[in-house]
Amino acid sequence: MKVRRESRGLHFYERENGLHVLFDECPIPTHECDEGPAVTSIALTNICDLSCPFCYAPKSRHTLSTDEVVGWCRELAALGTLEVALGGGEPTLYPNLPELCRTIWSETNMGVSITTHGQHLGNELVNALAGSVSLIRISIDAPEPHYSLIRRRPLQIAVENVRRLAGRIPFAVNTVINRATLPYLDELAILVRELAAVDWLLLPEVRSGEFTLTDLEWQALDRWIREHRFDFELRTAAEAAGHLSGPFLFENMSEDYAHISADGYLRRRSYANGGVPLRGNTVLNALRELRRDQAAMNRKS
C-alpha cells in the first residue's frame, strides 16, 4: 500500500483494488508534504481514429516515447504520486501500450489507469493489460442512436469489449456532458448500472478553455446529480465547483492533479495551453515552476 503525505493527512492507496483511505487526524505541515500530484494524467499520443465534436485534444500527431514516459513515472512515484492516468488522443493506438503499463507497474508503486473510447479492447489487448492496470475508463456519452452520431462507431462494440474486462480489470465510465448528451442521462444510467461500472465520471464539456453549459443546463445537471448521487459512485470535474454541488473527482486541484501533454509539457489541466516543458527538465523543477506561475496568476486576479 502506497502512502502519500498531504496537507489534509496521510493518504493510503492500494492500487490492486483502488482502495483510498485518508487519515485526516494527522494533517501534514506544508513543508513535509509530498510534492507530486496525487494523480497525473499523461497524453501518450494525440493520434485518434475518431473525430468527436467536443474533443479538445490537439489535432496533431505528437506522441511521447516510452523512455520519456517511464522516466517521468519513476520521478512521479518518488514524489508521492499515487496514480498515472494514461490517455490521449486514443491510448490503445499507442505502440507497445501493454509493455509500457507492465514497466510502470513493475518499476513503480503507482496505480495505472487508461482512458479510452473502448473500440479496440479485444481479447488480445485485454489479456496483455490484465495484471498491470488498476482501472480502465471507457468514454460513453449517450445511449444509441446518439452514441453513434457522436462517435461514428456503434456503442455495441464498446459494450462487448467492456464485458471482456469482467473479472480481469475494473472499469469505469466517463461521460461528456453538453446540450446533446444531458437529456439522455436517465437512459445511460440503465447501461452504467447493467455493466456494473465501479464509478461514473461526469465531465461538463469544455471548449477553448470555457464550459459550454448554460445556466439552465447547469441547474438541470446539478439536480440530476443530487437525485442520483447515491445510486452510483458519481464524480464530476473539480473545475465545475462554481456550478455544481459535487461530489468532485478532486478536492484540491493544486495538490491532486497535473497533466503531461503529448508534446511534453506539464500543465495544470488537460485542456490548458502552455505549461512547463519537461524535456531537459526534472519533474520536480517543472512542478515547482508550474506552481509559481499559478501563484503569480492568482495574485494578479
Same domain, 163 and 258: yes
How much is the pLDDT for 252?
Answer: 67
Decide: 110 and 90 in contact? Cβ < 8 Å.
no
Q: What percent of the chain has pLDDT over 90?
A: 80
Same domain, 167 and 195: yes
Q: How confident is the model at residue 173 (pLDDT cuts 50, 70, 90)?
A: very high
**Which of 94, 150, 92 minimizes the C-alpha distance to 116?**
92
**Which of 164, 163, 165, 144 minimizes the C-alpha distance to 155?**
144
* Range with lowest mean pLDDT among 145-149, 220-224, 294-298: 294-298
* CB neighbour list of residue 132: distance below 8 Å, 6 or more residues apart: 98, 101, 102, 104, 105, 106, 112
Q: How confident is the model at residue 301 (pLDDT cuts 50, 70, 90)?
A: low
Q: How confident is the model at residue 45 (pLDDT cuts 50, 70, 90)?
A: very high
Same domain, 189 and 88: yes
Number of domains in the chain: 2
How much is the pLDDT for 253?
Answer: 59
Structure-block grid coordinates of residue 51 = 473525430
Q: How confident is the model at residue 254 (pLDDT cuts 50, 70, 90)?
A: low
* Burial class (CB within 10 angstroms; exposed 0-12, middle 13-18, buried 19+) of 194: exposed
Instruction: List b or e across 41-69, with b for residues whose CB sees 16 or more CB atoms inside 10 angstroms.
Output: bbbbbbbbeeeeebbebeeeebbbebeeb
Same domain, 115 and 1: no
Of 73 and 7, which is predicted with more confidence?
A: 73
Same domain, 7 and 133: no
Q: What percent of the chain has pLDDT over 70?
A: 98
Domain that holds residue 28: 1-33
Pairwise CA distance, residues 152 & 178, whole Å: 18
CA 221 to chain centre: 20
